[in-house]
């Protein structure tokens, strides 16, 4: 029988709430033979009992071996991640009050932390004396109170932060990801890589025999 090509694109990390993990839960499958594609999608690979700390690493070699055990004539071509990290989540009812309190705490922490950082920076570089000096340089006299420089600085600072982080309320100012989103995605990838490596070193990764 002629060999059949099957392309698999696995995600590096997924979160599921059910006990059994099928190939279709973490990977996209493409094969011209629709019946093979549909069956491969439903093949079970692991279950939550194998996860000791709420997550489980699965090598794609195990996935390929499982597919070839059922379809020896299928040639599996991987175009995705070589290892998959599965997070088992319990399907708990959402507590809106707790979520609101967490959000309020994070907002207050970010607000006062940012305010302290800005105040500390302005004190460190002696921004008030700099404004007075600039006002004296251009106007020839010392300001009697807050000047247009302080007003412009107060408006420009939050405007610059909003433009830099590319986010205002629920809308992005452009289609590009913000620097914060880029750093969060980078951090997420590094954490997943570290967890997969640790699982492999502990011998808990599901791999071929």
Q: Is 67 exposed, middle or buried (0-12, 13-18, 19+ CB in 10 A)?
A: buried
- Stretch (H or E) spanning 5: strand 4-10
Return the axis-axis angle of helices 34-42 and 60-70, rounded to nearest 10°: 130
Q: What is the CATH number of domain 4-92?
A: 2.60.480.10
pLDDT of residue 170: 62
Contact 48, 194 (CB under 8 A): no
The residues of the chain that CATH labels 2.60.480.10 are 4-92
Please report which confidence band the pLDDT of residue 70 belongs to, taking 50, 70 and 90 as the band edges: very high
pLDDT at 136 over 70: yes
Residue with tokens 């590094």: 190
* pTM exceeding the 0.75 threshold for the entire prediction: no
Q: How far apart are CA 33 and CA 91, in angstroms?
A: 35
Residue in 32, 23, 42 with CA at minimum distance from that of residue 2: 32
CA distance 174 to 168: 10
What average pLDDT does range 190-194 have in this prediction?
Answer: 88
> Alpha-carbon distance 195 to 70, whole Å?
30
Query: What percentage of residues in the chain have a pLDDT greater than 90?
Result: 28
pLDDT for the residue numbered 105: 95
């Amino acid at each position: 029988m002629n060999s059949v090509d099957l392309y698999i694109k696995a995600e590096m990390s997924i979160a599921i709430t059910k006990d059994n993990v099928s190939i279709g839960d973490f990977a996209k499958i493409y094969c011209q033979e629709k019946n093979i594609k549909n069956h491969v999608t439903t093949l079970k690979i692991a279950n939550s009992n194998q996860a000791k700390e709420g997550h489980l690493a699965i090598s794609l070699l195990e996935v390929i071996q499982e597919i070839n055990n059922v379809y020896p004539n299928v040639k599996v071509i991987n175009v995705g991640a070589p290892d998959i990290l599965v997070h088992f989540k319990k399907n708990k009812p959402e507590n809106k009050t707790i979520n609101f309190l967490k959000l309020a705490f994070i907002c207050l922490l970010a607000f006062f932390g940012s305010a302290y950082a800005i105040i500390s920076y302005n004190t460190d570089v002696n921004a008030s004396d700099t404004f007075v000096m600039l006002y004296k340089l251009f106007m020839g006299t010392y300001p009697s109170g807050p000047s247009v420089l302080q007003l412009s600085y107060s408006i420009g600072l939050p405007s610059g932060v909003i433009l830099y982080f590319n986010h205002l309320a629920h809308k992005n100012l452009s289609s590009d990801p913000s620097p914060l989103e880029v750093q969060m995605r980078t951090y997420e990838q590094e954490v997943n890589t570290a967890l997969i490596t640790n699982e492999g070193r502990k011998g808990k990764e599901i791999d071929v025999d």
